[in-house]
Amino acid sequence: DAGITQSPRHKVTETGTPVTLRCHQTENHRYMYWYRQDPGHGLRLIHYSYGVKDTDKGEVSDGYSVSRSKTEDFLLTLESATSSQTSVYFCAIRAAINQPQHFGDGTRLSIL
Amino acid sequence: AQKVTQAQTEISVVEKEDVTLDCVYETRDTTYYLFWYKQPPSGELVFLIRRNSFDEQNEISGRYSWNFQKSTSSFNFTITASQVVDSAVYFCALSEALGNYGQNFVFGPGTRLSVLP
């Protein structure tokens, strides 16, 4: 299995609080991704990274920011969480564009 | 723009039946890559197979087989003699090569397969 760890695995928090999700890889892969998965919407890309300090927006980036200061870590931050951000969040890594993405186990985030 | 369509939202079969999951894609690129993923009820996303656009050979892995046809822009997935453990949501995905800084990776909406005992 690809060495990807997401933390925390579960989190419950209140509206308006900041939340940071962490994705850690041991594969030294160049590309990293954050997705959210909601019923009826499949997997939607939030942000992605193509190198250290190189990040860009996906299709549902509003309300989210990311940082990648080291190859192995990709952080997703919800500056002020809203109930609409309740979701399952997946991190993925990828070695090259002709290679598949490999996913972490997901983080279930509930915002009350 | 690239796009992946999985027209079958949900499929139910009885154990030991064969089942085919359809995937149709759109791309303007001549070099691209196709993938299938499985998401069982436990929630993890598992990579199953990758195919390059220049390799149209079908592939078989145990009870799983994949039929890639560029002429119809399809990359269909067949499970032979289905088992209850095959119950999952299956996603088809496409990655283009041209101008790709990692962002060109599109998932289809998924097909939920239920295999009944």
Residue B102 has pLDDT above 90, yes or no: no
Does B111 contact chain A (CB < 8 Å)?
A: no
Ramachandran angles phi, psi of B53, nearest 5°: -65, -20
* pLDDT band per the 50, 70, 90 thresholds, residue B101: confident
**Which pLDDT does position A41 carry in this prediction?**
83
Question: A100 to chain B: which residues are within 8 Å by CB?
Answer: 35, 47, 50
Q: Rounded to whole angstroms, how far apart are CA atoms A82 and B17?
A: 45
Contact B108 A30 (CB under 8 A): no
Q: Which residue has the higher pLDDT, A1 or B43?
A: B43
* Residue from the list A50, A56, A98 with its beta carbon closest to the beta carbon of B33: A98
pLDDT classification of A27: cutoffs 50, 70, 90? very high
pLDDT mean across residues, chain A? 94
Per-residue confidence at A61, pLDDT binned at 50, 70, 90? very high
The C-alpha atoms of residue A45 and residue A23 are separated, in whole angstroms, by 15
Are B60 and B48 in contact by the 8 Å Cβ rule? The answer is no
